[in-house]
């Protein structure tokens, strides 16, 4: 069981690092061609992940599917930890804060499902006064 949790954590960390790197690259690049390529690579990767989880669910492996989704959610949260450090307040999107609020509501609804500590930090992000 511990090795499974370690594997899930490693996968979450990898997803978080890759997503954060892609987000940083997307935000810092001046080349729209490179940014567009990065966007499509991210969408293709997301589609692959969706197909993986859907396969688990359709094969009747509900617990594995839910566990995979939970791990991917943690990975996404890890990637959001640096959002405010990487973007000036004028460049931040209120949509990001709205989406984080919905994720926070998920954890309030299902308190037995708690993110990894580093992922949990992103749940504290809230729109500040004067944010776009």
| Confidence category of residue 113, pLDDT binned at 50, 70, 90 | confident
Report yes or no: 87 and 129 within 8 Å, Cβ to Cβ.
no
What are the pLDDT digits (tens) for 49-103? 989 999 999 999 999 999 999 999 998 999 898 888 888 888 888 999 999 999 9
18/82 Cα distance (integer angstroms) = 13
Computed over every residue of the chain, the mean pLDDT equals: 81
For tokens 């994720």, the residue is 103
- Does residue 42 carry a pLDDT above 60? yes
94/103 Cα distance (integer angstroms) = 14
For the question of whether the overall pTM of this predicted structure is more than 0.75, the answer is: no
Report yes or no: 82 and 90 within 8 Å, Cβ to Cβ.
no
């Amino acid at each position: 069981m511990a090795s499974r949790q370690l594997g899930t954590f490693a996968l979450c960390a990898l997803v978080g690092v890759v997503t954060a790197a892609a987000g940083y690259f997307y935000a810092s690049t001046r080349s729209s061609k490179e940014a567009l390529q990065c966007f499509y690579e991210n969408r293709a990767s997301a589609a692959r992940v969706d197909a993986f989880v859907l396969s688990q669910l359709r094969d009747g492996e509900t617990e594995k599917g839910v566990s995979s989704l939970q791990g991917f959610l943690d990975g996404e949260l890890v990637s959001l930890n640096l959002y405010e450090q990487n973007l000036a307040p004028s460049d931040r999107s209120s949509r990001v804060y709205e989406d984080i609020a919905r994720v926070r509501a998920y954890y309030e609804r299902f308190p037995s499902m708690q993110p990894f500590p580093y992922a949990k930090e992103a749940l504290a992000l809230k729109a500040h006064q004067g944010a776009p």
